[in-house]
Amino acid sequence: MSTTTIEQAPAVALPPTSTFFQRFCRNRTAMVSAIILAIIVLAAIFAPYIAPHDPAKSSLRAILKPPGAVYWLGSDDLGRDVASRLIFASRLSLVASVQAVAIALVIGLPLGLIAGYVGGWIDTIISRFNDALMSFPALILAVVIVGLMGPSLSNAMTAIGLVYAPRIMRVVRGSTLSVREEVYIRAARAMGCGDIRIIALHVLPNVMGPLVVQATVLMGQALLAEAGLSFLGLGAQPPLASWGAMLGTAFPYMQQSPVPTIASGVVISVTVLCFNLIGDGIRDSVGRMRRAGD
């Protein structure tokens, strides 16, 4: 009786699954944007130490001065240093954007979870109201709300948060609808888990990826909306300075001294672009991580 030997195939080592941070770091555009944004945030934090002048100090002898050794980006119509005001204004603009997105999250996240998980007539009512709000132009709706509440930076950010809450709700609802029918959700129900526990432990962690992407993009949009409202005089009020308020103040003197207007516009554009590119990098990294885990 002959015996045959079966040779075992050599084990093939599977490549380790890269983490989200590793995938994000491979995206050079997103990484460069994150570094630039980090520099802007650090400049805002250490503004008193790096600003060359007092941002509120005016001088009648330095009105609309061109850029030079003393005033790096020139001076405004009151003789204040534009570079110092840009550095200090970054505090107000960035905090205002965070405030607006936080308000949008507080309103949109629970409504999206409830609409997507419960469904039925509750989903219908919330979704139709959400669609009605999204049918209005965001900036115009924000202007109307600020007009009713009164011009101030806090009211402007509240209005922007209310305007952007439907976008958060829509993203969370769509993600919840796809998650609630998964096998592990049914298994959790079969084990007797309550709806609140299922939402907190199983649904919410799985909608965080799209939510973080949407929140990052909305940070840039909120910054742009704040700049628009402040440019119109509905946002930051004197003596407070934001990038949009500086742009509105410098615009009438564009022909005499174009540098303050250009500097404010460039800073706003670069920051918004960084937020958008970081959001794209997060979206790509989360998508690749999901495909690798399938």
Indicate whether 150 belongs to any domain: yes
Q: Please give the average per-residue pLDDT across 14-29, as a whole number.
A: 71
What is the structure's pLDDT at 14? 37
Whether 212 shows a pLDDT value over 80: the answer reads yes
- Written as one string, the DSSP assignment of the chain is ----PPPPPPPPPPPPPPPHHHHHHH-HHHHHHHHHHHHHHHHHHTHHHH-SS-TT---GGGTTPPS-SSSTT-B-TTS-BHHHHHHHHHHHHHHHHHHHHHHHHHHHHHHHHHHHHH-HHHHHHHHHHHHHHHTS-HHHHHHHHHHHH-SSHHHHHHHHHHHHHHHHHHHHHHHHHHHTTSHHHHHHHHTT--HHHHIIIIIHHHHHHHHHHHHHHHHHHHHHHHHHHHHTTSSS-TT---HHHHHHHHGGGTTT-HHHHHHHHHHHHHHHHHHHHHHHHHHHHHHHHHHHH-
What is the structure's pLDDT at 18? 64
What is the structure's pLDDT at 153? 81
What is the structure's pLDDT at 37? 93
Q: What is the CATH number of the domain that holds 191?
A: 1.10.3720.10
What is the structure's pLDDT at 103? 93
**Residues, the chain, total?**
294
Amino acid at 241: A
Model pTM above 0.85: no
Indicate whether 65 belongs to any domain: no
Q: Please give the average per-residue pLDDT across 212-239, as a whole number.
A: 86
Compute CA 142 distance to the chain's CA centroid, rounded to the nearest angstrom.
17
Read off the pLDDT of residues 227-244 as tens digits, 9 standing for 90 and up. 888 888 888 777 778 888
Whether 283 shows a pLDDT value over 80: the answer reads yes
Q: Please give the average per-residue pLDDT across 191-210, as a whole number.
A: 82
Indicate whether 35 belongs to any domain: no
What is the structure's pLDDT at 15? 44
Indicate whether 59 belongs to any domain: no
* pLDDT band, residue 287 (cuts 50/70/90): low
Q: Please give the average per-residue pLDDT across 192-211, as a whole number.
A: 83
What is the structure's pLDDT at 8? 45
Indicate whether 14 belongs to any domain: no
**Residue from 80, 74, 90, 47 nearest 270 by CA:** 90
Q: Please give the average per-residue pLDDT across 39-52, as a whole number.
A: 90
Compute CA 278 distance to the chain's CA centroid, rounded to the nearest angstrom.
10
Least confident of 3-7, 242-246, 267-271: 3-7
Whether 205 shows a pLDDT value over 90: the answer reads no
Whether 220 shows a pLDDT value over 80: the answer reads yes
Read off the pLDDT of residues 52-85 as tens digits, 9 standing for 90 and up. 888 878 777 878 888 878 888 888 888 888 888 8
**Residue from 175, 174, 147, 145 nearest 161 by CA:** 145
- Structural domain range at position 184: 93-293
* pLDDT band, residue 39 (cuts 50/70/90): very high
Indicate whether 236 belongs to any domain: yes
**Residue from 74, 97, 99, 87 nearest 40 by CA:** 87
Indicate whether 258 belongs to any domain: yes
Q: How many domains are contained in the chain?
A: 1
Indicate whether 9 belongs to any domain: no
Read off the pLDDT of residues 109-127 as tens digits, 9 standing for 90 and up. 999 999 888 888 888 899 8
State the average pLDDT for the chain: 82
